[in-house]
Amino acid sequence: MYVYKDIGNRINYYRKRKGYNQGEFSKLIPGKRTQSWISSLESGRKRISVDELGNIADALGVNINALIADSFQSMTESNVSIRETVQKLEKIIPTEIPCYLQSELGNDTSKPLMIEYSSVGNIYGSNLDTQTEDYSGYIFAMAVECYYDLPFFDPTDMAIYRTDSMPSATTKDPIRGERIVIQLKNESFSGCLYHLATLTVDGYAHLKLSNWDEIRTINRTDYNLIGTIISRRTFYNYSVYRHWL
Residue 189 DSSP one-character state? B
Q: For residue 104, give the H/E element and its range.
A: none
Asked if the model's pLDDT at residue 144 lies above 90, the reply is: yes
pLDDT in tens, 209-243: 999 999 999 999 999 999 999 988 886 555 444 44
Entry pTM? 0.59
- Bridge partners (DSSP) of residue 141 are 99, 160
Yes or no: say if 118 and 139 are a contact pair by the CB < 8 Å rule.
yes
**95-240: which CATH architecture?**
Ribbon (2.10)
Residue of higher predicted confidence among 195 and 50: 195
CATH class, 2-90 region: mainly alpha
Q: What does the domain layout of the chain look like in residue ranges?
A: 2-90, 95-240
- Bridge partners (DSSP) of residue 98 are 115
Please give the pLDDT value at position 3.
Answer: 63
Q: Which residues contact 87 (CB under 8 A, 6 or more apart)?
A: none
pLDDT in tens, 1-41: 456 778 888 899 999 998 999 999 989 988 778 898 888 88
Q: Which residues contact 64 (CB under 8 A, 6 or more apart)?
A: 53, 54, 57, 85
pLDDT band at 79 (very low <50, low <70, confident <90, very high): low
CA 123 to chain centre: 12
Whole-number Å distance between alpha carbons of 205 and 201:
10
Asked if the model's pLDDT at residue 122 lies above 80, the reply is: no
Distances 128 to 32, 81, 148 between C-alpha atoms, Å: 19, 26, 28
Least confident of 41-45, 115-119, 210-214, 241-245: 241-245
pLDDT in tens, 160-206: 999 887 898 899 999 999 999 999 999 999 999 999 999 999 999 99
Please give the pLDDT value at position 100.
Answer: 92
